[in-house]
Structure 1
Amino acid sequence: MRCYLNTGIDPAFNLAAEQYLLENASEDCFMLWRNHNTIVVGRNQNTLSEINSEFVRKHDINVVRRITGGGAVYHDLGNVNFTFIKVGVQAKKIDFSSYTRPILEYLNQLSVPARLDGRNDLIVDGLKISGNAQHIHKNRVLHHGTLLFDVDLEMLATVLLVDPEKYRDKAVQSIRSRVTNIRKYLLGHPTVEQFMENLGRYMQEAHHAVMTTLSDDDLKRINDLAEKRYRQWNWNFGDSPAYDFSRPTRTPGGTIDIRMKVKDGTIQGIRIFGDFFGIDPVSDMEKRLTGCRHDPQSIKKILNAVDIERYIKDVTIDHLVHSMF
């Protein structure tokens, strides 16, 4: 088994690296990696219904979709991700226990009383420290998981906070769990880098992993995939299942109540209700917005060509865009 200690913190590259190894590795792999402030949503989720959009934009938090199922998770540099790639297997079903066992062995060796709980979580004292997900590709399996080592738990709770009444869809919604950090259970308070290095060393000693680096050709192909898929709005947002959006918002011009139908990330239909005043019928503006991406910048681009005051008195473009997320 090859072992990669990936020191990059670009989420698009890291998720592309997983997919690349899944599709191209000639033998089993194990990879450790971290992301800089990122929400990673599951393959089958509606991205906008999982994130606190306004907070995410304000704090410049990355949002990237992965190829595995499951719920949305928050990554910062206090979170360690691990990935197993298994080649040459005839996987008939999702199997979490086989892949989490080495991680549990390592944690138990450090006197952390972790265990597998439910479908795919690792817990300590009833609190979640790891979520896991899998993807089967032909005769290969990708299993990955988080390890909450020293994550900003307040940020984690805030970025994933969203009003469930805004978005109604058939997508898989995340189940919020009580969480804790691994570091509080460790003697000596090691750094996250030390924790990663020691886990890599454990995999080498206990599971015969061989430390390896990605070649220049590997890096180029991974970057190409990151650009083609994981840095694209269509993958991260547009690939969400169809959903209905509803939100009343109080503005200086009165209450604005937005109702939208969105499919493939594009507004299929929109109605703007409220107790506001205006000269021209808002149906003109609704027609302009139909067919637009449900994305703040795309909507602003259309509204910049409109005299909002004629439709909704005392309301700015920013007010209107805010009401649509």
Structure 2
Amino acid sequence: MYHDLGNLNFSFHTLLGGHDFGDFSVFTQPVLRLLNRLGVPAALQGRNDLLVDGKKFSGNAKLARHGKMIQHGTLLLNSEMEVLGEALKANPLKFIDKATKSNRTRVTNLIHYLPEDTTTEVLKNLLTEEIISNNPGAERYELTAEDQTGIEQLMKEKYETWDWNFGFSPNYSFQKAIKVPAGFIEVHLDVVKGNIEKAKIFGDFFAPKPIEELEDLLIGRKHEEEELRSVLESIDLTDYFGKVKVEEVMEAFK
């Protein structure tokens, strides 16, 4: 999922069983109702996408766990489309992801259909008011200082950790080739739960020690820049690649 300050995320939490798990219409209705009222011809198309003029501005997904269901989605209001396009453009020679692929489609920002001074904060408040007005008894909840402290602690202990951000990532194969003054270097890695399980390095470089020694040093390491840099800095790279610098070789692992 791509996210920047021009994108607003929303999330609905409910008990599992109260709604059809495959039906995305119930919890996208408030969004569509609000946008239609504002003159935006938005609609739910396909299973879980919100489109306007044939262009996607919202993708939605669901999660069921412990008897509860969460439906969450995105609202592209004024995102940096060039950055978004580059972020979603995977290099086929770099990552071969074993996760489910998402269908790519044309995307657009809602700002083209709303007043230019509409911000994510304005859109958030409008959507909140829409939800409250159609749900008797619902009210806005403001986070307390205690809530904020708990959130910050949870961020540090869980969501900012390597295990959470990379350890649960889908298994993938990484491939990258670079050209340095010492020659051509091509790296192939099989990564499982963020850790390198297999490593092969090819190239036309000349050095006195077998490259298999370096490959063995990479096994079990995290596919993460800081850890791989520490491995490369702990050895004499000229023994494996000839005259190279750590920064040059690091490029092959990014």
TM-score (norm. length: structure 2): 0.91
After TM superposition, where is structure 1 displaced by more than 6 Å over at least 4 residues in a row? none
Which of 152, 177, 199 aligns to 2:80? It is: 152
CA shift digits 1:1-33 (9 cap, x unpaired): xxxxxxxxxxxxxxxxxxxxxxxxxxxxxxxxx
Which of 294, 298, 302 aligns to 2:223? It is: 294
1:1-325 superposed matches below 5 A: 73-87=1-15, 89-90=17-18, 93-187=21-115, 189-208=117-136, 209-325=138-254
CA shift digits 1:159-179 (9 cap, x unpaired): 233212322342123333211
Q: Give, in angstroms, the shift of residue 272 of structure 1.
A: 1.0
Instruction: Tell me, yes or no, if the aligned pair for 1:168 and 1:244 is still in contact at 8 Å.
Output: yes
Give, in whole Å, the separation in 2 of the partners of 1:112 and 1:138: 37
- Paired-residue identity, %: 38
Q: Which has the higher contact order (CA 8 A, sep 6+)?
A: 1
Q: Give, in angstroms, the shift of residue 217 of structure 1.
A: 4.1
CA shift digits 1:236-277 (9 cap, x unpaired): 112123222222222222111112222121111211111111
What amino acid does structure 2 have at the position aligned with 1:151?
A: S
Q: Give, in angstroms, the shift of residue 89 of structure 1.
A: 4.1
Give, in whole Å, the separation in 2 of the partners of 1:261 and 1:191: 42
Instruction: Tell me, yes or no, if the aligned pair for 1:91 and 1:140 is still in contact at 8 Å.
Output: no
Give, in whole Å, the separation in 2 of the partners of 1:289 and 1:181: 43
Structure 1 unaligned spans of 5+: 1-72
Give, in whole Å, the separation in 2 of the partners of 1:142 and 1:100: 13
Instruction: Report how many residues are paired.
Output: 253
TM-score (norm. length: structure 1): 0.72
Instruction: Tell me, yes or no, if the aligned pair for 1:250 and 1:256 is still in contact at 8 Å.
Output: yes
Q: Which is higher, the Rg of structure 1 or of structure 2? A: 2
Give, in whole Å, the separation in 2 of the partners of 1:153 and 1:286: 39
